[in-house]
Structure 1
């Protein structure tokens, strides 16, 4: 009966993972189902990806992240220590203040990891009964499978949204975001700037140094663009050696400054070959503005492309505003 119940909860959860796209909701559901599985009084989960501490969720408001970290510190460990050691901790909380504040006495901490950069720690708590070895096995069997499934779904979702070479958003997602940003700009009467950027003489780089070097160039240029913009900006690989960038909540002067910052950073960057030889390259950028240049999505892209073409025709390695060539 116990095994059937565990399999039923796991099967139901995996079905939920397949249908739910919101990763935050998935992790919330994971800790809630783990709590039900072990008949715990409350539970919490802390998720990180790479160097970024991401989501924290607790089934009770009082048990926030600081409280969880405090409980671990009293035991002489931290979340990072648990992730490094991958050690499951089944312990009694002897501190009377913590017992009284959070109404918990027994704790079970389990680190979660995958082959991706996604990692986490799930914690379950009881007041009246300690966790048994069977509880440990049940939590491991459920949480391990559930976390792996979420991680895989997360990676598949990323692959569907991002360009495999550069890690930037792909053309399809860019078009969706452009539509959303135009609607938002229209609703709140804001400006939206679209930058189209194209690496100058990229074919010559491929022909001279080979396609592997060309791929490294694309990855490096993408990283330079990513580091040159704000978090709310939206960089994407538009196709080939062309990149697109959406800049909401800004003005013409700052949009031009962003373009110049990217252009200058690429112009000054030394690209290095495997044999130690270095070379430099440049990029041309065209900028169009919603609603002043156009209120239509497709036309806005064409205008940014026209500004980019003008930058190329004017000698390359420059930033061109559509408004300056339309006059």
Structure 2
């Protein structure tokens, strides 16, 4: 509906509504004169048209604006229901929904996709040392980085406090590893300024891959990637590990 309003133009719609209001008022006045059998009078028509000429444009302009505002608010609420407001990535619920869709598509067309789970290293220490505003700044910075790095077809989401996940359609294990290496390097190169102080941060990654011949469900794949992430943490962080028993 908003597209229709923008296409026609708000002013044209107001004019159209005003004209219709005037015609209805004059027409109703004419019908009442016929029923009451009063002498035909142009002045009565003019009086009948005065009020809609004054009120209709103002009222219709206000109501159309209010209607557009309601639509914008609905769209904003819909966006908030899907995206994490701090990072700009999908929230957990929306990510899992999109991941399930990709899983079904991959099964249907027998394609491979990568599952990557990432956790920011020593995030609690950053919050403790620099405050939660610093932590929020790093989360936002990482969200910006992800949106710069990923392909349009990739699915990315914040699934926990400082934990993120990615679905990489039509991607092999080797390609998923390349993705992880580039992402780790990009994260290590980031610098966030907090109160004049530069903060660097790193991440750890776990990888698994869905092959057409395996029967893992999407939650199993994410779980395996998460287990690989723990191994990356145990290996010293700022690295990636691949889940075992992919097939």
Residues of 1 paired with 2:197 and 2:16: CA distance? 63
> What TM-score comes out, normalization by structure 2 length?
0.75
Q: Which one has a larger percent helix, Structure 1 or Structure 2? A: 2
Structure 1 counterpart of 2:132: 211
Give the conservation status (yes or no) of the 8 Å contact 1:196–1:285.
yes
Q: Which one has a larger percent strand, Structure 1 or Structure 2? A: 1
Residues of 1 paired with 2:170 and 2:64: CA distance? 41
**Cα distance per residue 1:290-310 (max 9 Å; x no partner):** 136653122111111011111
Q: Is 1:245 aligned with 2:220?
A: no
The structure with the largest alpha-carbon Rg is 2
Q: Is 1:264 aligned with 2:239?
A: no
Residues of 1 paired with 2:246 and 2:231: CA distance? 11
Residues of 2 paired with 1:315 and 1:253: CA distance? 22
**Cα distance per residue 1:209-267 (max 9 Å; x no partner):** 11111111111111111211011111110111101111112222222222111110111
Highest RCO, 1 vs 2 (Cα 8 Å, sep ≥ 6): 2
Residues of 2 paired with 1:311 and 1:250: CA distance? 21
Query: Does the C-alpha gap of structure 1 residues 156 and 212 become closer, same or farther in structure 2, counting only changes over 3 Å?
Result: same
Residues of 2 paired with 1:316 and 1:293: CA distance? 29
Query: Does the C-alpha gap of structure 1 residues 289 and 217 become closer, same or farther in structure 2, counting only changes over 3 Å?
Result: same
Task: Mark the runs of 5 or more structure 1 residues left unpaired by the alignment.
Answer: 1-25, 41-131
Give the conservation status (yes or no) of the 8 Å contact 1:293–1:322.
no
Alpha-carbon RMSD across the aligned residues, in angstroms, is: 2.7
> What TM-score comes out, normalization by structure 1 length?
0.57
Structure 1 counterpart of 2:88: 167
Structure 1 counterpart of 2:2: 27
Give the conservation status (yes or no) of the 8 Å contact 2:99–2:155.
no
Query: Does the C-alpha gap of structure 1 residues 315 and 231 become closer, same or farther in structure 2, counting only changes over 3 Å?
Result: same
Structure 2 counterpart of 1:158: 79
Structure 2 counterparts to residues 215-234 of structure 1, below 5 A? 215-234=136-155
Residues of 2 paired with 1:154 and 1:201: CA distance? 36
Structure 2 counterparts to residues 76-87 of structure 1, below 5 A? none
Give the conservation status (yes or no) of the 8 Å contact 1:293–1:303.
no
